[in-house]
Amino acid sequence: MINASDILNAKVLVVDDQESNVLLLEQMLREAGYACVTSTMDPRAVVGLHREHHYDLILLDLQMPGMDGFQVMEGLKTIEPEGYLPVLVITAQPAHKLQALQAGAKDFVSKPFDVLEVKTRIHNMLEVRLLYKRLEQTVEKRTAELRESEARFSAVREMTGFLAQARHRRTPVKGA
């Protein structure tokens, strides 16, 4: 299972164009014990930051100048081609919730937000994300083991076929 230490050491990125929101979220996360919190007020930087750091969770404001959260999520899909965007959307527009989920966000929080709700959603999303990553690692390991096993089986089958052919060549023909 995932323990509290794994969750508190997960990599979190806060993205909001308003400094007060960034500072509030950073303070809330640090007070809760999160150790790897990064932030940016530039939505255009998110894709590059995620490509470099592979965040476990991105807290993403939707309404930002220059590039909105929906465009950011589209860019993130190039890094997460399997469709798992570790995004928790923060929005003041109730109508954007469904659209954000359809765009790939895994959850949302409404502004103004309740601190306890945000902490709980962050914890839950990180737990799911870390379990997902662990499952991916297990599948990769089992797939590699299966490939090795198939290679050994093929080698044994080849050797068995070779031995059978050699025996067949040495067996005298009856009646000759």
Q: How far is CA 176 from the centre of its chain?
A: 71
In a domain, 42, yes or no: yes
For Cα atoms 32, 137, 145, give the angle at the middle one, nearest 5 degrees: 160
Query: Looking at this protein, which amino acid is placed at residue 41?
Result: M
In a domain, 31, yes or no: yes
| Helix, strand, coil percent content, the chain, rounded in steps of 5 | 55, 15, 30
DSSP 45: G
Please count the structural domains in the chain. Answer: 1
Q: What is the pLDDT of residues 105-136, one digit of tens each?
A: 999 998 888 999 999 999 999 999 999 888 88
Predicted pLDDT at 123: 96
Q: Is residue 176, in this structure, part of any structural domain at all?
A: no
15 lies in some domain = yes
Query: What's the pLDDT at 41?
Result: 97
In a domain, 155, yes or no: no
User: Is 161's pLDDT higher than 90?
Assistant: no
Cα–Cα distance between 30 and 119 in angstroms, integer?
Answer: 11
Tell me the pLDDT band of 2, cut-offs 50, 70 and 90. Answer: confident
> Considering the domain boundaries, does residue 170 fall inside one?
no
Q: How many Cβ atoms are within 10 Å of 120's Cβ, its own excluded?
A: 12
Residue 107's identity, in one-letter code, is D
* Reported confidence tier of residue 175, pLDDT bands at 50, 70, 90: low
**Alpha-carbon distance values, 136 to 33, 69, 72, 79 (Å):** 26, 27, 24, 16
Q: What is the mean pLDDT of the chain?
A: 88
- In this structure, is residue 35 part of a structural domain? yes
Q: What's the CATH code of the domain at 74?
A: 3.40.50.2300
Domain that holds residue 107: 4-134
Region 141-150 average pLDDT: 82
For 50-107, the pLDDT digits (tens) are 999 999 999 999 999 999 999 999 999 988 767 677 899 998 888 888 899 998 899 9
Q: Which pLDDT score is estimated for 93?
A: 87
